[in-house]
Amino acid sequence: MIPRITPTIVVCGLGAAVTGALLALPPADDDTTPVPVATVPGGAAAPVSITIADFSFGGPRTVVAGAVVHVSNADAEAHTLTAGDGTFDTGSVEEGTVVSFTAPTVPGTYAFFCDIHPSMTGSLVVGPLDDQES
């Protein structure tokens, strides 16, 4: 005799698969509040967030050399955050996603733009770790 699969079992199985898939996803980063420049214990640079919204770059643009910079896109179109000198480039950041890059280790001011929308521009000021410690 072949066992019969009832719709209830199929739905439960599907629900378990979807729940398992959702649990495997990283938590959503809905907080687009800019993170202030700071250091964490041991002198490492704390991450900084830049949010792209309304075709502009928001958030702090001063970071510690070597800090992780999270770039989130709150627009309905893809964008990039690309250094004019090629030092960093996020590639395409799709709607609702977050990508990260490491800030240059050499202090200075780095002009950047969106490669898809060149009128979107900004600059990232990279300071030495010693100047940013609290």
Which tokens go with 122? 């900004």
Write the pLDDT tens digit of every residue in 30-48: 443 333 344 444 445 678 9
Higher pLDDT, 2 or 18: 2
Length of the chain: 134
Q: How high is the pLDDT of residue 130?
A: 61
pLDDT above 50 for 132: no
pLDDT above 90 for 24: no
CATH class of segment(s) 48-132: mainly beta
For the segment 7-21, the average pLDDT, to the nearest whole number, is 40
Domain boundaries, the chain: 48-132
Q: How far apart are CA 31 and CA 57, in angstroms?
A: 16
Q: How far apart are CA 94 and CA 125, in angstroms?
A: 25
Q: What is the pTM of this model?
A: 0.63
pLDDT above 60 for 123: yes
Q: How high is the pLDDT of residue 45?
A: 63
Write the pLDDT tens digit of every residue in 65-119: 999 999 999 999 999 999 999 999 999 999 999 999 999 999 999 999 999 999 9
First vs last Cα of the chain: how many Å apart?
Answer: 73
